[in-house]
Structure 1
Amino acid sequence: MVAITTNPLILHFESVANSGGGSWRFAIAGEASQIMLPAALMVASLAKCCTFAGDPQQLAPIVQSADPLAQAVLGKTAFDVFKDAQSVFLNEQSRMCQGVCDIVSHTFYGDELVVCPKAARYPEWKLARSPWFLDGREIPRVLVDDRAGESTWSKRYNGKIRYASAEIAAALVHELLGSYVEPDDVLILTPFRAQRALIRSMLGRQGQRAVRVSTVHRAQGSERKIVIFDPVDAGSPFLNSETGRRLMNVAASRAQAHLVIIVGETDLRNPYLAKMAVRARKLWDRKRDFASPLRVRLPQT
């Protein structure tokens, strides 16, 4: 048995292929949705039987070159090429509570993704995903805050930022940590490095540097009880693309107990965010006198 990551496999392919007598029976590639096609073909050539395990609905390989040929080759994975291979869809998950799973399943998986019944029977699993309360009221499992406004380009942060949504995120953290939520329970996600820097700066001024703020690409594989997602500019071609759809899927599915999505009017023109917002407001958000305790008051108001 050999356990190896993709980069060393490429560098030492001949040695790996010839070790063990050069007759490997099985090759298993995990997180295969992020393995570029050339590397996937190398894995497939190693053994008589090859299994690619991963989620083609989540993040694809990162290709920085703008060359169309590089995009066409390096941006593809085994899921794109071996379409006739036998496959199975694993439709049970144990990370997300029912509310968050419902939103993710409805938006990205055709309502086929469900909470694993075995996991849901464990008291420890239920406790870890039990809802939080603020001011005696339960926080909705999925909340859409639509006061974020429009994004802008910042010279200071060298990228797209949205000051209003960063303000909302910081206010949310202040409210949450003011109760019994710990910094390790919260994860703030955004697609843009400039917005990440802005939010970190705001949290730093509040003395809340322990809360993790990350780009979505760096968060795949992680999870937190409460996830705050700030898309910043969901109306852009980038977030309306296949890449954007996968990115929003990853962001939403990091949440164990609560998902908060911060949007503006333009963001809701994005079909994936719009679908999540409609579903959330129909099933999980509360209106009028029962409005969420997380509809925080912003400094300027």
Structure 2
Amino acid sequence: IDAVKFDKNKNIIQISEYQTAIKNIEKIESGKKKLSKQLGFDFSLENLFDLSDENGLLAKLDTSLRYELFVLATHYWEASWLENNETIKNFSYEQEDRKKFWQIRAMLTPCFVTTLHSGVSFFQCKVLSEFETPIDFIDLLIIDEAGQVMPAVAGALVSATKKLLLVGDALQIQPVFTLPSSIDFANAKKFTLCTDRVGYDFLKIAGILSSGDNATGQAYGNLIYLGQCKAKFKLTNHAHPGLLLREHRRCAAEIISYCNKLCYNDQLIPLTKKTLCEYPRMAYAHVKGEIKTQNGSRYNPLEAESIARWIAKNKEKLLKNSNKETLDDCIGVVTPFSAQARAIQLALNKYNLHINKVGTVHSLQGAEKDFIIFSSVYTSNDNVGTYFFDRAPNMLNVAVSRAKMSFLVFGDMDIFDKYRNSSPSSLLATYLFDKEENELLDVIQPRYCTPEIDDIQQLNSLEQHVAALKNSFERTTHELHIVSPFLTTTAIKSDNLVSTITKYSNHININIYTDPTLNDKRSHDFHNAKKMLFNAGAHVFSVKNVHSKIIAIDDRVIIEGSFNWLSASRDNPQFIREECSMEYRGEKAAKFIQLALNPIKTKIINSEKAIND
């Protein structure tokens, strides 16, 4: 058919070859009829090698003849093994005998499963007086999780194979490296792989080195990167050579969307079946904890306590949503630090909760759970340059992509800033704070849950919260602080706050703290709400990245919880959510107020003057 050529008017210009082509077509049609009769089914010549075409020859063969041939081939090699197995005991460790030995073994078990370390010693034979692994002996070597493998670790076994298939993701768990880069550089120079630091930097891109960047945890050697350099094919519109498994069937679309943007340039196609879930797909709980260290590893016991307490409270609801019998079947907890993993496990044991998957991202590699809880550990008081999970995209990519139904972040939400460069946590903040309803409201701040805190009252209903807000003006003698990340004119009007602020602002200071970045989807209403509060006599402060919801009355009373004081819906049942706040009036009130407000005051962007301008 290829012999037939046409001019620009689609006229045949090679008549002699045309006659040959016609005969070829006749042969093909005759051969197709004969083959169809032999196979017992008809097939299409179009898309002959396209497995997605169910009428194509390959697809038809996969569901008919190939299965029968596989069964026959299995029995043939079983019989061959029975014939040859007795000869194995006579084989020596010389190369030719060992090859026959493995070939006979392969008749019964053609697939050998091994580690990269033990596989090398298994496939060894005697060459002169030394034991060696033969070159190009294995027909096909498949290495799973190749993105976690240093080339130096795999090199010996790779040299023994004719064909190599690497399966893995370089953007998930990184290979572990211990070799200092100075020694790695010296080795590269010694074996003439490079002559200077510039050449060494190029080797980092190639992925063949044995060291890494200690600051980011990024390995300079990665078997997947090396495989991509050697692959001879590349998908259209894909940045790297090799195949990309684009169809994603684990996480809900809203969850994998984060990983898609973070690592895969929106090339993944979510195909997960939609399931109902009472929890937000990307949820968060704002917990103001306190960092401690243990053997150089960070942990946050208050955060760990909050996670365990919340799971205990929500146990039945979690099991109902996941349709599982035990919490261990449906929940995994991941954290950047091993000390925090231990703290969380201790807290879970305290509430008699049995969850095995609690650890760093390495413990969840390859796993999946309906609910993944991420404990971030850090607080806004920490003087940290780059958070551990922001050093590379791998950690959050692994953590988020383990969650099938819901990914829940427990921690100090003030550290998650969607406008802070292009870090993995800033992108995560965009997803977490996309909707106000993504916040978990039934989480009690852990500082109010200790045995010595007794002068406390819990607020659960909308009516209790609205009453507490109104009464706070009467109870204040000097200074009233209201922290409300969100503002709406509707809530301010519903509570008649303009007249209340006007009435009391002459003899008390009324300070209101809010976050414009969280209100960017309704900026016009937010700006009007700020003006209403300022014109009534309140000091309104715009604060960058604030998530606490607080009322502080002088230094005597603090009310803290999940209720957005100046934005929560007052009269529409559809939008009224279960809220929880704690009112504390004890001797530690002044200390708690200071701990809560000081970090907020340090992040003030501007005050009422800028608002008025």
Q: 2:433 aligns with which of 250, 273, 281?
A: 281
Match of 2:114 in 1: 4
Q: 1:249 aligns with which of 397, 400, 419?
A: 397
Match of 1:79 in 2: 224
Secondary structure, in 3 states, of the residue corresponding to 2:366?
Answer: coil
Give distance in 1, aligned partners of 2:439 and 2:286.
13
In the TM superposition, residue 278 of structure 1 has moved relative to its aligned partner by 0.4
In the TM superposition, residue 263 of structure 1 has moved relative to its aligned partner by 3.5
Closer, same or farther in 2 for the Cα pair 1:187/1:180, shift >3 Å? closer
Give distance in 1, aligned partners of 2:153 and 2:270.
33
Closer, same or farther in 2 for the Cα pair 1:33/1:294, shift >3 Å? farther
Match of 1:240 in 2: 390
Secondary structure, in 3 states, of the residue corresponding to 2:317?
Answer: coil
Give distance in 2, aligned partners of 1:46 and 1:295.
58
Amino acid at match of 2:365: Q
Residues 39-69 of structure 1: CA distance to partner in whole angstroms, max 9, x if unpaired?
Answer: 3333432222211110111011122455544
Amino acid at match of 2:139: R
Match of 1:113 in 2: 268
Q: 1:94 aligns with which of 249, 263, 270?
A: 249
Structure 1 residues 89-98 or 50-59, which shifts more? 89-98
Q: Is the 8 A contact 1:24 1:46 kept in 2?
A: yes
Q: Is the 8 A contact 2:286 2:410 kept in 1?
A: yes
Match of 1:135 in 2: none
Give distance in 2, aligned partners of 1:68 and 1:239.
26
Closer, same or farther in 2 for the Cα pair 1:224/1:231, shift >3 Å? same
Are positions 1:296 and 2:443 aligned together?
A: yes
Taking structure 2 as the reference length, what is the TM-score of the superposition? 0.41
Match of 2:285 in 1: 145
Secondary structure, in 3 states, of the residue corresponding to 1:257?
Answer: strand
Residues 13-40 of structure 1: CA distance to partner in whole angstroms, max 9, x if unpaired?
Answer: 5359549xx6333221111011111133
Residues 116-145 of structure 1: CA distance to partner in whole angstroms, max 9, x if unpaired?
Answer: 3xx63xxxxx5xxx343xxxxx21011133
In the TM superposition, residue 70 of structure 1 has moved relative to its aligned partner by 5.5
Match of 2:151 in 1: 37
Secondary structure, in 3 states, of the residue corresponding to 1:167?
Answer: helix
Amino acid at match of 1:112: Q
In the TM superposition, residue 170 of structure 1 has moved relative to its aligned partner by 1.6
Match of 2:239 in 1: none
Closer, same or farther in 2 for the Cα pair 1:50/1:68, shift >3 Å? same
In the TM superposition, residue 292 of structure 1 has moved relative to its aligned partner by 4.3
Match of 2:406 in 1: 258
Residues 198-242 of structure 1: CA distance to partner in whole angstroms, max 9, x if unpaired?
Answer: 111111111113453122112101111100011324954643323
Structure 1 residues 190-199 or 267-276, which shifts more? 267-276
| Structure 1 stretches lacking a partner, 5+ long | 121-125, 133-137
Closer, same or farther in 2 for the Cα pair 1:154/1:18, shift >3 Å? closer
Give distance in 2, aligned partners of 1:102 and 1:253.
10
Instruction: Give the number of equivalent residue pairs.
Output: 275
The correspondence of residues 134-173 of structure 1 with structure 2, limited to 5 A, is: 138-149=278-289, 151-154=291-294, 159-173=297-311
Alpha-carbon RMSD across the aligned residues, in angstroms, is 2.8
Q: Is the 8 A contact 1:227 1:260 kept in 2?
A: yes
Residues 171-215 of structure 1: CA distance to partner in whole angstroms, max 9, x if unpaired?
Answer: 331232143523121111112111011111111111113453122
Closer, same or farther in 2 for the Cα pair 1:141/1:68, shift >3 Å? farther
In the TM superposition, residue 276 of structure 1 has moved relative to its aligned partner by 1.3
Secondary structure, in 3 states, of the residue corresponding to 1:207?
Answer: coil
Task: Say which one has the larger Rg.
Answer: 2
Are positions 1:23 and 2:137 aligned together?
A: yes
Give distance in 2, aligned partners of 1:291 and 1:260.
9
Taking structure 1 as the reference length, what is the TM-score of the superposition? 0.79
Q: 1:202 aligns with which of 330, 334, 347?
A: 347
Q: Is the 8 A contact 2:332 2:355 kept in 1?
A: no
Amino acid at match of 1:250: V
Q: Is the 8 A contact 2:284 2:438 kept in 1?
A: no
| Structure 2 stretches lacking a partner, 5+ long | 1-109, 126-131, 186-208, 212-218, 234-241, 320-325, 449-581, 583-613
Give distance in 1, aligned partners of 2:299 and 2:184.
29
Closer, same or farther in 2 for the Cα pair 1:39/1:52, shift >3 Å? same
Give distance in 1, aligned partners of 2:139 and 2:356.
45
Residues 72-98 of structure 1: CA distance to partner in whole angstroms, max 9, x if unpaired?
Answer: 415412223342423111111211111
Amino acid at match of 2:433: R
Amino acid at match of 2:284: V
Secondary structure, in 3 states, of the residue corresponding to 2:142?
Answer: strand
